[in-house]
A and B are shown apart, each in its own frame.
Chain A
Amino acid sequence: MVFLTLPCWIRSRGPDRYWKVQELLKHARHFRGRKNRCYSLAVRAVRRAFVYATRGRTLKKRNMRKLWITRIAAASREHGMTYPALIHNLIKSSVQLNRKVISQLAITEPRTFLSLTKLARARQQEGLQAALGDGKEPPGVFSRIVVKQ
């Protein structure tokens, strides 16, 4: 006898090739041409698609942040301030809003954004007002001295 153990007598290659192929082809069904039907072509196309998707996920974060920054810069220039001045003074005033939220406020809540620009402007001119001004708080700005009182 050549085949001495039971596993060597089994001549089936495996019962579930159909489902393994379908698992890959389901990711290729919206492709163009034979790549959406034929396994060998689909394997290559699906692998490329996944690579592009991974790369796109990292790029999306970068592009969204760039868009938020552009929008905040446009909105702050409408109020006479530049983007770096606004962000730096908001950070100095410990306003920890991220760029996503500030850009959404600039679009949907214009008066809130205006109050943020006024806060940043007051913080920017704090040194100058302390040197030149009369020691009073700028009107309309909520500061730590007001809070302590």
Chain B
Amino acid sequence: MSNFSRTAQQWASFARSWFLIDARMQPPGKIASMCSVRLQGKHKPIYHAISDLGDHVVVINSRHIAFSGNKWEQKVYSSHTGYPGGFKQVTAAQLHQKDPKAIVKLAVYGMLPKNLHRRTMMQRLHIFPDDELPEDILANLTEELQQPREIPRKLNEYTQEEKDAFPRVWTPPEDYLLK
């Protein structure tokens, strides 16, 4: 690093990286906040709003995001077509059915600062519903980010030894009816 020329050092420090986030079994809000931080460039100590140092973020498996609670049925996405009687309200489940990328896209759009840079930053966000990535994007990726939520294992993913070794609070008597 010490033998870089000044122009080369500046080019390296303001270079745009490509981040990859796997959204399988993750809450879309947490994914969106990580995306928005990196799209704005707020993860860099040289941040400035004018400097345009946001990075590209690629989100994969957006079809497999996981809302907590009852949000799939209760969260409502509203829009208006502009015509009278054109107020549309769709639940998160219906929107996800129609377009698996929309939930993450709307979440990130709402978390970015509400100025003219927002559209440019959204152009640097790439969402894919499944694992497949086009070759040019795959060639650009530099870093994969850790998932925000640790995916809990299902009961059938635990081995029998782990199930037996798990501490029991009480042992039922022999004639106790276990469902």
* A and B co-occur in one complex: yes
User: In the complex the two chains form, what is the Cα distance from A74 to B46 in whole Å?
Assistant: 9
Q: Main SS of chain B's interface residues?
A: loop
Q: Are the CB atoms of B48 and A67 closer together than 8 Å?
A: yes
CB neighbours (8 Å) of A70 from chain B are 42, 47
Q: Which of A64-113 contact B (CB under 8 A)?
A: 67, 70-75, 77-78, 103, 106-107
- How many contacts between A and B, using CB within 8 angstroms? 22
Q: Are the CB atoms of B43 and A77 closer together than 8 Å?
A: yes
Scan B36-61; emit 1 where CB is below 8 A from any A CB, else 0.
Answer: 00000011111110000000000000
Can you report 7 A-B residue pairs in the complex whose CB atoms are below 8 A from each other?
A67-B47, A67-B48, A70-B42, A70-B47, A71-B47, A103-B45, A107-B46
Which size bracket describes the interface of A in this complex? 10 to 19
Q: Which of B12-55 contact A (CB under 8 A)?
A: 42-48
Say how far B87's CB is from chain A's closest CB, in angstroms. 38
Nearest A residue to B44 via CB reads A74
On chain B, the number of residues with a Cβ less than 8 Å from chain A's Cβ atoms is 7
Nearest B residue to A77 via CB reads B43
Q: Which of B54-110 contact A (CB under 8 A)?
A: none
Say how far B151's CB is from chain A's closest CB, in angstroms. 22
User: In the complex the two chains form, what is the Cα distance from A78 to B47 in whole Å?
Assistant: 13
Q: Are the CB atoms of B48 and A74 closer together than 8 Å?
A: no
Q: Are the CB atoms of A78 and B48 closer together than 8 Å?
A: no
User: In the complex the two chains form, what is the Cα distance from A70 to B44 in whole Å?
Assistant: 9
Say how far A91's CB is from chain B's closest CB, in angstroms. 20
User: In the complex the two chains form, what is the Cα distance from A97 to B43 in whole Å?
Assistant: 22
User: Which 10 interchain pairs have the tightest Cβ spacing?
Assistant: A75-B45, A106-B45, A71-B45, A74-B45, A107-B45, A74-B43, A70-B47, A74-B44, A74-B42, A71-B47
